[in-house]
Structure 1
Amino acid sequence: MDLLYWLDPWEFSPTVVVALLLPAVLFVRGARKAKVSVARRISFWFGLVALYVALHTRLDYFFEHEFFMHRAQHLVLHHLGPFFIALSYPGAALRAGIPFGWRQRFVRPALAMPFVRKLIDVVMHPVVAVTLFVGLIYFWLMSPIHFVAMLDWRLYRVMNWSMVIDGLLFWWLVLDPRPAPPARLSPGKRVLVVIAAIPPQIVLGAFIFFTPRELYPIYSICGRAFTWLSPMRDQQIGGLLLWIPGSMMSVIGALLALRHWMRLSARGRVRGERRAVVVANASRPTGGTLAAKAASTSDAGQR
């Protein structure tokens, strides 16, 4: 009964229900056709449930009334949930879950539109991806913007969904297990991209933690959920959540990207290594060529 109480939404949102129910249905349909391992299924469902808990449960009250709870929410929305969804690599299952007729009539033409292709190319560019991933954290934590976002429910939802969408795009780019192409980035660039996102998070988290003044008075104005926690202590815990767990998630992402790089390299599927193998094979004489050279030499000797 207590669990059902906490799972009950603080503010019901049809957008959240539809946005999370649709990929769930597609994954269930597609997992029957695509080869999805048990580990990948667990990863997908863990990520999706984490997003639901952070967006549509009674915990949302605490996310709105304590800064460190707000940071915990965004840690899930921007890091944890999208990370595990991308780690499951659900693209094949989601695509298989869409009826074939719909894919032919709607999905493929939409993805083939020049505007859509250009937009994807821009947001998936490594520099843009890192800038958006870190920039959104900085943007929503600017004191004046954060003040307004926590007062206006529409801007509050835009803030949360921007974190979810950007997190999915970033981790999908970094944790892609395929070689390039078809992946957008080479394995080495994926490692560099996620490493580049670590220092700015550390700097911002340390700044919030060590600042001697209250940066986000909106929580004191609207009333705090935990009256026993001082504003400065609340702010310090929030800074630590950004500083340590947020950065550690990026470190784990870098290690996984490095693992994919080593796996692809061991199989000779890295672009530079594939080119070297092709050149070596082309320059190596075949059995037929060696036989022809031997026959030529024998004929010359007989003459």
Structure 2
Amino acid sequence: MKRQLAAGLAGAPALAAAHGQASLETWPWNDDAWLWVLVLAAGLAYGAGLRRLWRSAGVGRGIGRASAGAWAAGWALLALALLSPLDPLGSVSFAAHMVQHELLMLVAAPLLVVGRPLVAGTWALPARWRGPVARGLQRTGVTGAVQRLSHPVVAWLLHLVVLWGWHAPPLFEAALHHDGVHVLQHASFFVSALLYWWALVQPGRLAAVPLSVATTAMHTGVLGALLTFSTTVWYPHYRGGAGPGKLDALADQHLGGLIMWVPAGAVMLAVALAALVSLLRRLEPAPR
């Protein structure tokens, strides 16, 4: 197993080169028109709402420049994860699939949440629609459901169940073989991540961030370690593929597990530490 893991790490530089060549010559961009429409519509709606808000209240008011920049970066990474050749590459490489999932859940989702999309989305609507839409969401229970699901404990549990559930071999294999299941997998990953991060950025919830993020890093690290040190291939679909750097299926799985375990875990722990430092500074007594 150590030799295979070493081969996976040694193949990392080749992964970058192979991805570049595959993007240009072998792997097409996603050709699902409906997905392109959704991603582009989200970008246009946010831009229209932000422009209308800033024209009314002043540039940087309501949504700060940093928040708008975070949203733009998150939107670009969302497009990269879903529309670029990374998506079809994930059908032959578990490691590439893992990179795609981490981009969706760990990078794009929190950046989009920081961008205050609900504020921009509200301003994107014509003024006469805003009240009726808000009341309609309340009457249909959508607002209440989102509030309940975005409670820190509920969002944490939902994130855990979605992540571990979809990595169970039967469900992961089903997603690889059926387009509809694959769409459901990505949608549940992304929505659960949005709810998870949304729950933590609400006012007054800074104290929940260190514990929530640190424990999430722990359980995702366990899953990544299980994938990294497994002596069997969890997902038989990848036996027929050529992993990055010509890795076999097991080494490709080890590389994917390592991505979830080490760099993704390091990002989560850095967020938890930053939140803890911020919390401690707030608790310091004010100087006389």
**TM-score, with normalisation over the residues of structure 1?**
0.76
Pair 1:236 & 2:254 matched: yes
SS of the aligned residue for 2:224 comes to: helix
Distance 1:130 1:262, change over 3 A: same
| Aligned twin of 2:7 | none
| Aligned twin of 1:286 | none
| 1:102 to partner: Cα distance | 1.8
| 1:263 to partner: Cα distance | 6.8
| Aligned twin of 1:183 | none
- Determine which structure has greater relative contact order: mean sequence separation of CA pairs < 8 Å that are 6+ residues apart, divided by chain length: 2
1:258-284 per-residue CA deviation (whole Å, 9 max, x = no partner) reads 46545765799xxxxxxxxxxxxxxxx
> Does 34-43 or 209-218 show the bigger shift?
34-43
> Does 226-235 or 79-88 show the bigger shift?
226-235
RMSD: 2.7
Of the candidates 144, 149, 156, which is equivalent to residue 182 of structure 2?
Answer: 156
Q: Distance in 2 between matches of 1:116 and 1:9?
A: 37
| Aligned twin of 1:253 | 271
Unaligned runs of 5+ in 1: 180-185, 269-303
Aligned length: 257
Of the candidates 10, 20, 30, which is equivalent to residue 39 of structure 2?
Answer: 20
Distance 1:60 1:246, change over 3 A: same
| 1:80 to partner: Cα distance | 0.8
Q: Distance in 2 between matches of 1:21 and 1:267?
A: 47
| Aligned twin of 2:10 | none
| Aligned twin of 1:182 | none
| 1:226 to partner: Cα distance | 4.2
Q: Is the 8 Å Cα contact of residues 82 and 164 (structure 1) preserved in structure 2?
A: yes
| 1:218 to partner: Cα distance | 0.7
Pair 1:170 & 2:189 matched: no
Distance 1:105 1:264, change over 3 A: farther
| 1:241 to partner: Cα distance | 0.9
| 1:121 to partner: Cα distance | 3.2
| 1:256 to partner: Cα distance | 4.5
Of the candidates 95, 99, 118, which is equivalent to residue 122 of structure 2?
Answer: 95
| Aligned twin of 1:296 | none
Q: Is the 8 Å Cα contact of residues 83 and 171 (structure 1) preserved in structure 2?
A: yes
Distance 1:267 1:3, change over 3 A: farther
SS of the aligned residue for 1:224 comes to: coil
Q: Distance in 2 between matches of 1:113 and 1:246?
A: 39
Of the candidates 33, 37, 43, which is equivalent to residue 70 of structure 2?
Answer: 43
Distance 1:105 1:260, change over 3 A: farther
Q: Is the 8 Å Cα contact of residues 48 and 85 (structure 1) preserved in structure 2?
A: yes
Q: Is the 8 Å Cα contact of residues 62 and 225 (structure 1) preserved in structure 2?
A: no
| 1:216 to partner: Cα distance | 1.4
| 1:10 to partner: Cα distance | 3.4
Q: Distance in 1 between matches of 2:285 and 2:105?
A: 32
Distance 1:38 1:124, change over 3 A: closer
Of the candidates 22, 39, 49, which is equivalent to residue 30 of structure 1?
Answer: 49
Q: Distance in 2 between matches of 1:230 and 1:250?
A: 29
| 1:115 to partner: Cα distance | 2.5
Pair 1:121 & 2:147 matched: yes
Q: Distance in 2 between matches of 1:147 and 1:167?
A: 22
| Aligned twin of 2:219 | 200
Q: Distance in 2 between matches of 1:164 and 1:220?
A: 27
Letter in 2 for 1:110: G
Distance 1:121 1:39, change over 3 A: closer
Q: Is the 8 Å Cα contact of residues 72 and 241 (structure 1) preserved in structure 2?
A: yes
Distance 1:92 1:261, change over 3 A: farther
Q: Percent identity?
A: 25
| 1:204 to partner: Cα distance | 0.8
| 1:18 to partner: Cα distance | 3.0
Pair 1:10 & 2:29 matched: yes
| 1:235 to partner: Cα distance | 0.8
Q: Distance in 2 between matches of 1:226 and 1:31?
A: 40
| Aligned twin of 1:79 | 106
> Does 206-215 or 27-36 show the bigger shift?
27-36
| Aligned twin of 2:172 | 146
Of the candidates 213, 227, 236, which is equivalent to residue 232 of structure 2?
Answer: 213
Pair 1:109 & 2:127 matched: no
SS of the aligned residue for 2:159 comes to: helix
SS of the aligned residue for 1:45 comes to: helix
| 1:173 to partner: Cα distance | 1.5
Of the candidates 70, 73, 87, which is equivalent to residue 60 of structure 1?
Answer: 87
Of the candidates 126, 135, 157, which is equivalent to residue 161 of structure 2?
Answer: 135
